[in-house]
Structure 1
Amino acid sequence: MTSRSSRTTARTSPEARAVARTQTLLPGKDGIGTVRRTTLPGGLRIVTETLPSVRSATFGIWAHVGSRDETPALNGATHYLEHLLFKGTHKRSALDISAAIDAVGGEMNAFTAKEYTCYYARVLDTDLPLAIDVVCDMLTGSLILAEDVDAERGVILEEIAMTEDDPGDVVHDLFAKTMFGDTPLGRPVLGTVDTINALTRDQVARFYKKHYDPTHLVVAAAGNIDHATVVRQVRRAFEKAGALTRTDAVPVTPRDGHRAIRTAGRVELLNRRTEQAHVVLGMPGYARTDDRRWALGVLNTALGGGMSSRLFQEVREKRGLAYSVYSYTSGFADCGLFGVYAGCRPSQIHDVLRICRDELDRVAHEGLADDEIARAIGQLSGSTVLGLEDTGALMNRIGKSELCWGDQMSVDDMLAHIASVTPDDVRAVAADLLGQRPSLSVIGPLKDKQADRLDEAVA
């Protein structure tokens, strides 16, 4: 058993000190918003965006691993591992990790998705070296002790229980299962009570060793930073951990391939004694690399992306049938989802489903009016810019772009793509996507007669 007091000394070969490759991906304006990438000889990529006008910096490390990389027996391992990397390294205990960032008023967290995991810290620009040292230490030197695995098991089971208490969250997991079935994309990111109880320390440790190689990682930093300084500090941290010894290593490429979703007309009902019925009505969408994603974004905004959207107006404003109603899209490497969510009184579920289905069918056959499309383009453009107003959002953008696309797109180019969407583009996507037969997921206390009628919504 490894103890926290043990320490290995890593030696760096002369080859590992080879010159790194640095590129300017986005030049920015007057040095503001410049995005650079450096690839180290060990296959680690470092991307930064410089914003001299702020006093903060956000540092993150993205791992090319998510719940879709798990076998059925390992369901939940990626998220379990996310927790365990905060539990201690050769240099720091769990308390040392949290106290170091707390002591400078920073914030540190992580999140796991179906195709990636991210660990990050947001601090004052002067404290960036500390954030780099702490986060890099977590990613390269985690001990994954058996006692920590056992202790954290209870925490994760409580997190699953907390999620289960929120049917508005659970219904989205149910919809993924409805669409993808018993596949990695259809299983919950958190895992299940059974899989979490069955996971062992050795299984999690092997998962860590396999997926946290530097070639699977992207370092991202944004704020009042200097690219060369960040590269130097990250390189030093990884070399001290002995993580950059493979001089022939190259970064993994973004996920690709094609997964066809043929699910249609499926209904999944989870009967629970809740105050509301929670529904998701949806169908296959587009992969995140599909050129039609820009038109889909405009369509989604017009349909259910705000208070002026069709679904909000029809379901909430005109009829008062729901407090929360919206549409959303999820794009993966090779497929996607489009869904409409609503929470309503169980007695009104069929009225809500009928209105939502009628609107989807109407837009599929008639399209949207030009003024709706123009308004949606304006809303989407504004929200895109406003969503990038802090260093955390900038770090997320450049880190995810490098990991998922292998490239960077400027905000101006993003806005140009949105602005170039035509009414014909939106109508074509609406006909293609909304013309499909939907599937339905429901959580709520439905009586037998109500449950029997759910098939009407997907007929």
Structure 2
Amino acid sequence: MYSHKILDNGLDVILVKRDSMMSASVLFCVKVGSSKETKENAGLSHLIEHISFRATKRKNTFEIKQPIEEVGGVLNAFTSKNFTVFFAKIPSLKVNETLEIMSEILYEPLFKEEDIEKEKGIILEEISSYEDEPINIVFENLYKNVYDDNFSRPIMGYKDTVMNIKKTTIEEFHNKYYQPENTVVIISGKFDEDSVLKQLNGIKSIANLNSFKNNITSPSIVDKEIFIKKYKNDLASNYLVQGFKAPPKLDKSYYSTLVLNTFLGSGMSSLLFSKIREEEGLAYEVTSDYETYPKAGLLLFYAATTEKNLENLLGKIEEVVEDLKNNKEIEKWFNYGKKRLIGKLTLEVENNLSMALNVLDLYVNYGKIITIEEFIKNIEKVEIHNVVETAKNIFSNNKYVSILSPKNQ
């Protein structure tokens, strides 16, 4: 089912054959993101992602998008701290044409001055919209105080840095990182293996294969208590994020933390939803998230509540944390978390894009292919005592709190 090859041009290719499907997903992951930028060019990776769809040496923007979209397909991309990922979902008959289009987007974009300026304007609007959202603000305030500089900057950058990025800076950054030997390609679904490998091997490499090394990095996390409270006009609710240092992706406690995070905040049957919303009525929305890197991790709680309920909400979260540290009622929640996590993974991989993204996440972090079946088996091995020990360790760490409250008029 899984085939892994390093091609002559350096492309790292993983093929997941699923011949029962009538579709496929194609994913190109360039191993560079916002953490590789400087303070002065913050937002550069995200800007390149945008401009790449404007024009290539042989195609204009309509010729890039129309062949995929006219058959009901999707062509898109996203930028993260460590990666820029371009992806497509298409009917199987369109795989080879999609590979041609995507390889041109990645390796042959035309960085025309007028296109650069247009995309800068679009990104400024995107930043304005992002900065208006209280959820984004409360998380960014936390990251600024918890992560090191390279990971605390917003992926989109800042308005002034984006506006000041020069064409020469874009081209130098692109030439350095957008190389086949710095790219992982994953195709999941129905396709002709020999045909796609021949096509991918035809992509030319510019860099020296023997000298290019670009390992993904992890943030450093502060080792002290953090409490930030900021205010914003025109808010009706208080927004809260509370975090703890958690095991990194390569730690032996990674799988038990996944189970812990799932029963804490995934679904309306989760612990946080049950205890804080259903029983106490302290928040309309409450959830958890596990943010991981190879050598760093954060377990985060998020909630939105009214001014009168804020203090009680903080107290209830503290009570939940103490109960978990003392192993109260954990068996009920453990079973829910483990079953839900396995079930969600099983459902997700029915989708070719979800399958490709899962394979990518595991591969780039572990440096080897871990199948979804193997991943699920690792979750199945997690026992209650593993989660109890993990919860005690996590909740004994420093507490990081970020609150965004309405500004009194």
In structure 1, what residue type is equivalent to 2:322? D
Equivalent of 1:149, from 101, 116, 119?
116
The residue that corresponds to 2:140 in the other structure is 173
In structure 1, what residue type is equivalent to 2:300? G
- 1:74 is paired with a residue of what secondary structure? coil
Residue 325 of structure 2 is aligned to residue 359 of structure 1: no
Residue 265 of structure 2 is aligned to residue 304 of structure 1: yes
CA contact (8 A) 1:387 1:393 kept: yes
CA contact (8 A) 1:42 1:250 kept: no
Larger Rg: 1
TM-score, structure 1 normalization? 0.85
- 2:20 is paired with a residue of what secondary structure? coil
Residue 35 of structure 2 is aligned to residue 53 of structure 1: no
Equivalent of 1:290, from 232, 247, 251?
251
The residue that corresponds to 1:69 in the other structure is 36
Residue 159 of structure 2 is aligned to residue 193 of structure 1: yes
Equivalent of 2:191, from 211, 225, 245?
225
Cα distance in 1, alignment partners of residues 233 and 142 from structure 2: 16
In structure 1, what residue type is equivalent to 2:160? D
How is 1:437-448 mapped onto 2 (pairs within 5 angstroms)?
437-446=398-407
Query: 1:271 deviation in Å?
Result: 3.0
Query: Could you list the per-position Cα deviations for residues 281-305 of structure 1 after superposition, in whole angstroms to 9, with x for gaps in the alignment?
Result: 1121222211211000111112222
Query: 1:105 deviation in Å?
Result: 2.1
The residue that corresponds to 1:39 in the other structure is 6
- 1:90 is paired with a residue of what secondary structure? coil
TM-score, structure 2 normalization? 0.95
For the structure 1 residues 185 and 368, does the alpha-carbon distance in structure 2 shift closer, same or farther, using more than 3 Å as the test?
farther
Query: 1:444 deviation in Å?
Result: 2.4
Cα distance in 1, alignment partners of residues 160 and 329 from structure 2: 46
Equivalent of 1:349, from 310, 319, 325?
310
Query: 1:446 deviation in Å?
Result: 4.9
How is 1:37-436 mapped onto 2 (pairs within 5 angstroms)?
37-180=4-147, 183-236=149-202, 238-239=203-204, 243=205, 246=208, 248-249=209-210, 252=213, 254-255=215-216, 259=220, 261-366=222-327, 368-436=329-397
> Which segments of 5 or more consecutive residues in structure 2 lack a partner in the other structure?
none
Cα distance in 2, alignment partners of residues 85 and 408 from structure 1: 29
- 2:378 is paired with a residue of what secondary structure? helix
In structure 1, what residue type is equivalent to 2:153? R
Cα distance in 1, alignment partners of residues 234 and 250 from structure 2: 40
Query: Could you list the per-position Cα deviations for residues 284-339 of structure 1 after superposition, in whole angstroms to 9, with x for gaps in the alignment?
Result: 12222112110001111122222222211111101222121011110012211111
Q: What is the root-mean-square deviation in Å for CA atoms of aligned residues?
A: 2.0
Query: Could you list the per-position Cα deviations for residues 98-132 of structure 1 after superposition, in whole angstroms to 9, with x for gaps in the alignment?
Result: 12222222110001111111001111000111110
- 1:417 is paired with a residue of what secondary structure? helix
CA contact (8 A) 1:277 1:344 kept: yes
Query: 1:65 deviation in Å?
Result: 0.6
- 2:49 is paired with a residue of what secondary structure? helix
Identity of aligned residues (%): 24
CA contact (8 A) 1:254 1:404 kept: no
For the structure 1 residues 299 and 401, does the alpha-carbon distance in structure 2 shift closer, same or farther, using more than 3 Å as the test?
closer
Query: 1:404 deviation in Å?
Result: 2.9
In structure 1, what residue type is equivalent to 2:333? E
Cα distance in 1, alignment partners of residues 315 and 217 from structure 2: 37
Query: 1:266 deviation in Å?
Result: 3.0
In structure 1, what residue type is equivalent to 2:315? R
In structure 2, what residue type is equivalent to 1:63? V
- 2:3 is paired with a residue of what secondary structure? strand
Cα distance in 1, alignment partners of residues 231 and 251 from structure 2: 33
Cα distance in 2, alignment partners of residues 121 and 214 from structure 1: 18
In structure 1, what residue type is equivalent to 2:157? G
In structure 1, what residue type is equivalent to 2:53? F
Query: Could you list the per-position Cα deviations for residues 24-67 of structure 1 after superposition, in whole angstroms to 9, with x for gaps in the alignment?
Result: xxxxxxxxxx1111111222111110001110011110010111
Cα distance in 2, alignment partners of residues 274 and 257 from structure 1: 34
CA contact (8 A) 2:141 2:402 kept: yes
Matched pairs, number? 409
> Which segments of 5 or more consecutive residues in structure 1 lack a partner in the other structure?
1-33, 449-459
- 1:336 is paired with a residue of what secondary structure? strand
Query: 1:83 deviation in Å?
Result: 0.2
- 2:87 is paired with a residue of what secondary structure? strand
Query: 1:79 deviation in Å?
Result: 0.6
Cα distance in 2, alignment partners of residues 313 and 260 from structure 1: 31
- 1:329 is paired with a residue of what secondary structure? strand
Query: 1:427 deviation in Å?
Result: 0.9
